[in-house]
């Protein structure tokens, strides 16, 4: 075996182990096995994740970048981060602002017809998912996958790598993705009716981008981002709906921020 292959093999093992460690640690946090405030030592993570020290350390650094862990200044280690209700609202608000900017940039950039076709095809897939019904978690998950794809396509249309990175960071938190509240909403509202409204907004956003109306595309996307947020206060106060928020064990308190008090 050549020296190049010998050098590559350990690095590939580290990457594989790191990916495994990141996924396992994320699952432990989102599953509630590691609660907010839990200190994570490198030695404990080696044992708990079943990997060596380097992948364990890299996994913690990765989840720190995603926002699930926070650094302990005194020791340089990490602990599981908790989020107040105010912070949850703020994270969703930030995502909505960034997506609105993406829609405006997409309209001003004058995308090609095939790019708009991809958005319209995605909306059509969501229409079909709605026709199939939202009677089960699997059906809701199918719609959610198409919805997340629509938002990803919208971000790509802006052709701004910096904006895309910021959006990816905003969506990295489990409760902040475009479809994160769908299951929880289904316990409190008539979800198919809400999604019909959302679908109309999707179509109007595509139309505004096609018409190169950046101001309208931005305003429509901003309103679209508030659709689920209007129900978030009720979700956080509901013993039935709250556990359906991804990462709900990380959220403490139920007092929403004042700026949404009247929505």
pLDDT tens column, 19-30: 999 999 999 999
- How far apart (Å, rounded) are the C-alpha atoms in residues 185 and 166? 26
- How far apart (Å, rounded) are the C-alpha atoms in residues 45 and 55? 9
Same domain? 64 vs 133: no
- How far apart (Å, rounded) are the C-alpha atoms in residues 98 and 158? 11
Same domain? 139 vs 213: yes
Same domain? 55 vs 110: no
- Give the domain-ending residue among 81, 100, 121: 81
Same domain? 101 vs 229: yes
- Give the domain-ending residue among 81, 101, 130: 81
- How far apart (Å, rounded) are the C-alpha atoms in residues 63 and 29? 10
Same domain? 219 vs 237: yes
- How far apart (Å, rounded) are the C-alpha atoms in residues 175 and 58? 23
Same domain? 62 vs 159: no
- How far apart (Å, rounded) are the C-alpha atoms in residues 193 and 157? 28
Q: What is the CATH number of the domain that holds 21?
A: 1.10.10.10
Same domain? 69 vs 32: yes
pLDDT at 255: 39
pLDDT at 242: 94
Range of the structural domain that residue 30 is part of: 3-81
- How far apart (Å, rounded) are the C-alpha atoms in residues 207 and 219? 13
pLDDT tens profile 63-85: 999 999 999 988 778 999 999 99
Q: What is the CATH number of the domain that holds 142?
A: 1.20.120.530
pLDDT at 7: 47
Check whether 257 has a pLDDT greater than 50: no
- Give the domain-ending residue among 27, 52, 81: 81
Number of domains in the chain: 2
Q: What are the start-end ranges of the H helices in the chain?
A: 3-30, 42-49, 53-66, 85-109, 113-132, 137-157, 161-172, 182-185, 191-210, 214-237
- Partners of 83 in beta bridges: 251
242 and 184 in contact (C-beta within 8 Å)?
yes
The pTM of this model reads 0.84
Same domain? 137 vs 255: yes
């Amino acid at each position: 075996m050549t020296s190049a292959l010998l050098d590559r093999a350990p690095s590939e093992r580290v990457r594989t182990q790191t990916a495994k460690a990141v996924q396992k640690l994320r699952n432990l946090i989102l599953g509630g096995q590691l609660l907010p405030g839990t200190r994570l030592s490198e030695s404990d993570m080696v044992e708990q994740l079943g990997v060596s020290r380097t992948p364990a350390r890299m996994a913690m650094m990765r989840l720190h970048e995603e926002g699930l862990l926070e650094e302990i200044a005194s020791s340089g280690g990490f602990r599981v981060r908790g989020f107040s209700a105010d912070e949850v609202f703020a994270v969703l608000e930030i995502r909505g602002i960034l997506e609105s900017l993406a829609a405006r940039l997409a309209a001003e950039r004058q995308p090609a017809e095939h790019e708009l076709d991809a958005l319209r095809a995605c909306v059509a897939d969501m229409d079909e998912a709605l026709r199939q019904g939202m009677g089960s978690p699997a059906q809701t998950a199918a719609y959610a996958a198409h919805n997340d794809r629509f938002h990803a396509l919208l971000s790509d249309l802006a052709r701004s790598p910096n904006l895309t990175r910021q959006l990816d960071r905003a969506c990295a938190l489990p409760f902040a993705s475009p479809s994160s509240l769908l299951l929880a909403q289904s316990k409190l509202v008539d979800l198919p009716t809400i999604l019909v409204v959302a679908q109309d907004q999707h179509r109007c956003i595509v139309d505004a981008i096609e018409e190169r109306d950046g101001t309208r595309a931005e305003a429509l996307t901003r309103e679209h981002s508030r659709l689920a947020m209007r129900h978030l206060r009720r979700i956080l106060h509901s013993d039935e709906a709250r556990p359906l928020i991804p990462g709900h064990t990380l959220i403490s308190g139920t007092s929403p921020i004042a700026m949404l008090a009247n929505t």
